[in-house]
Amino acid sequence: MSTAQTPLHKVRGMGSAHSGTGHFWHERVTAVALIPLSLWFFYVMLGLAGTNEVTALQFLAHPWNALLMGAFVCFSLWHAYLGLQVVVDDYIHTAGTKIFLMLLIRFSIIATGATCLFAIVRIAAL
Amino acid sequence: MADNPQRPMANARPLSPHMTIYRWPVTMMTSITHRATGVGLSVGAIILAWWLVSISNGPEGWQSFHAVADTPVGLLVLFGLTWALVYHFLNGIRHLAWDMGYGFDKREAERNSVIIFALSIILALAAFAVGWTGHGGYLQ
């Protein structure tokens, strides 16, 4: 035994991926949450098709709808982040490129999420 | 068997797939399509952000969004995103079923691969048909 780490410590979230089953589990939890949220999103998109901005504004200004749209955005982007990380892990094998891409993805996801949430709050406050 | 006395098992070994002549099983297609639609939808989230911002900007914002979205290219992108979301939704449910240990049988997996491809296209077309024939917009 060349290190002071116990086998249990190695197993607990410190494999070669530097995380345990957390990534897998979060991907599944967000996927399950996105089943009802996506169905609601389909219903909304079809219901707003061909209408005007007043309809969209009034619909999204309703607290429940604002909340659901916020939840859809958050869970979608969280799920997207986890999925994109797997794509980078699978195809990018250079440490520098990998770090660069993961930072780019993380910043883009946060920027997109912040923009969505700000717009939703602004619509609700209009 | 006696072709190569040094490696008697050489001829009996299975060959690894030669990608240029390899017939893609439909389950392989659904797998890579799931990933591709996932990446596409991630980019599509930016369009969702743009749409929400355009609504928050009032009538001018709405018009600026639709000036782009209502073009043929814009509609094609929206149709692509619609199909991608339907596909990723359906195949995602199948992935969750697999996680619970259901549907691993080869024939079954192949059959519902075809069903998911067909159903996702049909539902995306149906959504656009509903929108185009004026049956959408029920939230007004």
Which of B92, B93, B96, B88 lies closest to B123, judged by CA?
B88
pLDDT at A81: 97
Per-residue pLDDT for B1 more than 60? no
CA dihedral B76, B80, B82, B83 (to 10 degrees): 130
Average pLDDT for B117-126: 97
Residue A9: is its pLDDT beyond 80? no
Per-residue model confidence (pLDDT) at position B120: 98
Is B73 domain-assigned? yes
pLDDT band at A22 (very low <50, low <70, confident <90, very high): confident
Residue B18: inside a domain = no
**Residues A96, A93: Cα–Cα separation, whole Å:** 9
Helix (H, G, I), strand (E, B) or coil at A18: coil
Residue B104 lies in a domain: yes
Report residue B14's pLDDT band, with 50, 70 and 90 as the boundaries: confident
Does pLDDT of A2 surpass 70? no
Residue from the list A52, A80, A116 with its beta carbon closest to the beta carbon of B52? A116
A19-23, A44-48, B125-129, range with the lowest pLDDT: A19-23
The interface predicted TM-score (ipTM) is 0.87
Look at residue B54 and tell me whether its pLDDT is greater than 80: yes
Cβ <8 Å between B95 and A31: yes
Q: What is the pTM of this model?
A: 0.86
Q: Classify burial at B51, counting beta carbons within 10 Å of its beta carbon; exposed 0-12, middle 13-18, buried 19 or more.
A: buried
Contact B89/A35, CB-based, under 8 Å? yes
Which structural domain, as residue segments, surrounds residue B85?
Answer: 26-132
Domain CATH for B68: 1.20.1300.10
Pick B124 or B3 by higher pLDDT.
B124
pLDDT in tens, B65-95: 999 999 999 999 999 999 999 999 999 999 9
Closest partner residue to B137 (CB to CB) among A34, A42, A51 is A51
B138 falls within a domain: no
Tell whether the model's pLDDT for residue B4 goes beyond 60: no
Residue A1: per-residue pLDDT: 47
Report the number of distinct structural domains present in chain B: 1
Instruction: Tell me the shortest Cα–Cα distance from B104 to chain A, in angstroms.
Output: 18
Please write the tens of the pLDDT for every residue from B101-116.
Answer: 998 899 999 999 999 9
Query: Looking at residue A126, what DSSP letter applies?
Result: -
Collect all residues of chain B within an 8 Å Cβ-Cβ radius of residue A28. Answer: 96, 99
In a domain? residue B37: yes
Q: What region, left, alpha or beta, does residue B102 occupy, with left being phi > 0 and alpha being psi -120 to 50 degrees?
A: beta
pLDDT category at B134 given cuts 50, 70, 90 is: confident
d(CA A33, CA A97): 32
What is the pLDDT at residue A7?
A: 72
Computed over every residue of chain B, the mean pLDDT equals: 90
Please check whether residue A17 touches B, CB under 8 A: no
Return the pLDDT at A17.
59
Query: Which domains does chain A possess?
Result: 7-12+19-125 (1.20.1300.10)
What confidence tens digit (pLDDT) does each residue in A25-65 have?
Answer: 999 999 999 999 999 999 999 999 989 889 999 999 999 99
Domain assignment present for B7: no
DSSP secondary structure, B86-112, as one string: HHHHHHHHHHHHHHTT-S-SHHHHHHH
Longest dimension (CA), chain A: 69
Q: Identify the CA nearest to A84 among candidates B61, B41, B3.
A: B41
